[in-house]
Amino acid sequence: MPALHGLETIDLGCPVCCFVGENGSGKSTLMEALAIATGLPTVGSVTAARDRSLASQARLARCLKLVWTRRAHRGFFLRAEDFFGFARRLVEMRTEFKEDLKEIDKDYRDRSDYARMLAKGPANRSLGEMQNRYGEDLDANSHGESFLKLFQSRLVPGGLYLLDEPEAALSPQSQLAFLAMIKSSVDDGSQFVIATHSPILMAIPGATIYSFDERPAGAVGFDDLEHVNLMRDFLAQPERFIRHLWTDDD
């Protein structure tokens, strides 16, 4: 990856670091290698170290030397696609538990209430734990609401969180709520490394932003990002951009 050629060190000591750049620039690859090197669990999927699709990232991870000021053992690695699969699996599990309860009612219709209660115990406990952690009717929420509930349920003070394009599940309003959640967690001693295309997430106060469009990747200011300036220009005059895109010649 050109963004890593000649890159000797990258300082992730800031409470929030953002990796930005075009698709294919290498930001997600380095994030996955960091997940393998740190040994963090992956939300909703096999751990990054055991993911056979990440063989190249595993080779990169073996080339990394991590230097810690405080070794983090808590936290997680989260990719947007893993979240969607995890949320779907939670809904499936809840449906299965409810079907189990119906079957128990049918099978135990001639038994005592006490026997029926004992038989229902494991399924009811599992449903209760899911509701306490993720809220009721996860599938009734939008993707953004489900993401925020899932994320908040797993935040712990002093954790390290590696997030690959979390904005995929979030509307602009939900991204602002996510910013507030990150701020609160940083105040509790947590650290975030975020690969993102979202100018909203890039605007986290005090964040260090690394552009993977640089050769090698380097720190840049928010106002110097081409991505941010393009978005500003488009929102200021969308008709000008669309006029050039939708011409008769095209």
Domain residue limits at 100: 84-140
Q: What's the pLDDT tens digit per position in 4-43?
A: 888 889 999 999 999 999 988 999 999 999 999 999 988 7
Q: Is residue 14 part of a domain?
A: yes
Q: Classify residue 122: in a domain, yes or no.
A: yes
Residue 201 and residue 102 share a domain:
no
pLDDT digits (tens, 9 = 90+) for 140-159: 555 567 778 878 888 889 99
Q: Are 62 and 149 in a shared domain?
A: yes
More confident residue, 91 or 36: 36
Shared-domain flag, residues 133 and 146: no
Give DSSP secondary structure letters for the chain.
-GGGTT-------SSEEEEE-STTSSHHHHHHHHHHHHTPPBTTSS-GGG-GGGHHHHHHHHH-----SS---SEEEEEHHHHHHHHHHHHHHHHHHHHHHHHHHHHTTTS-HHHHHHHHHHHHHHHHHHHHHH-S-GGGS-HHHHHHHHHHHH--TT-EEEEE-GGGG--HHHHHHHHHHHHHHHHTT-EEEEE---HHHHT-TT-EEEETTSSS-EEE-GGG-HHHHHHHHHHH-HHHHHHHHS-S--
User: Is the per-residue pLDDT at 209 higher than 90?
Assistant: yes
Instruction: Give the count of domains, the chain.
Output: 2
For range 204-220, the mean pLDDT: 92
Per-residue pLDDT at 191: 96
Question: Do 165 and 207 reside in the same domain of the chain?
Answer: yes
- Answer yes or no: do 134 and 146 share one domain: no
Cα separation of the two ends of the chain = 34
